[in-house]
Amino acid sequence: MLVFFKERLVFLAVPKTGSTAYQSALRDRADIVVANPPELKHAPLYRYNRFFRPMFEKVCNAEMETLAVMREPVDWLGSWFRYRRRPCMRGHPNATHDISFDDFVRGYLRGNRPGFADVGSQATFLEPRPNGTSITHLFRYETPAALTDFLQQRLGMPVQTGRENVSPEMPVTLSPGVEKRLRQKCAREFELYDRIG
């Protein structure tokens, strides 16, 4: 999470959407950098609303806008699948070395997800709160130029990111049946992504 207080902007770090690269590029410009623990670095909107928003409003008398990035849902799961195939994960209970992408997604679709497929939900991360707190600016991972243009204008500085925390390169495809089940069971993920302008 990055906070730009003067600009009244909080950049929430959705996992597997390039947030670490933006954190590295902007950490010297940010007023607050929450890099650890992961539960705070990747604080979803509901956690921001409960703990961080009241601090800004009550202590600083400031209403902040929020920004986040969302990745196409199948690609997002593919990134998690590949990330958990890193060599350092071999032998770890959450490793995906010995399963297919179909099996990973089948695990994700279970009510009680196995550890290797327990990766959360972008829609839950970004879900508006009953008090009206919502993501003010939502960008697609697949169109980074839109986010970069927004940040450059808002922060008044050039923004250049590198690649960090990258999943191993490998093709991942879902069988039609598993993709159909994913799109049915996780419809709100796809609906939210499709609504991003």
For 68, the 3-state DSSP assignment is strand
How confident is the model over 109-149, as pLDDT tens digits? 998 999 999 999 999 999 999 999 999 999 999 999 999 99
Residue 92, phi then psi, degrees to nearest 5: -80, 145
Alpha-carbon distance of 80 to 97, in angstroms, equals 12
Q: Cα dist. 46→31, 37, 96, 181 in Å?
A: 22, 17, 29, 27
Mean predicted lDDT score pLDDT of the chain: 95
CA separation for the pair 34, 12 (Å, rounded):
10
Express each pLDDT in 150-167 by its tens digit.
Answer: 999 999 999 998 887 777
Looking at residue 169, what is its pLDDT? 85
| Domain extents in the chain | 2-195
191 pLDDT band, cuts 50/70/90, is: very high
How would CATH label the architecture of 2-195?
A: 3-Layer(aba) Sandwich (3.40)
pLDDT on residue 95? 94
Mean pLDDT, range 67-90, rounded to an integer: 96
What span, in angstroms and rounded, lies between the C-alpha atoms of 81 and 171?
Answer: 11
Strand stretches in the chain, DSSP E = 2-4, 9-11, 32-33, 65-70, 137-140
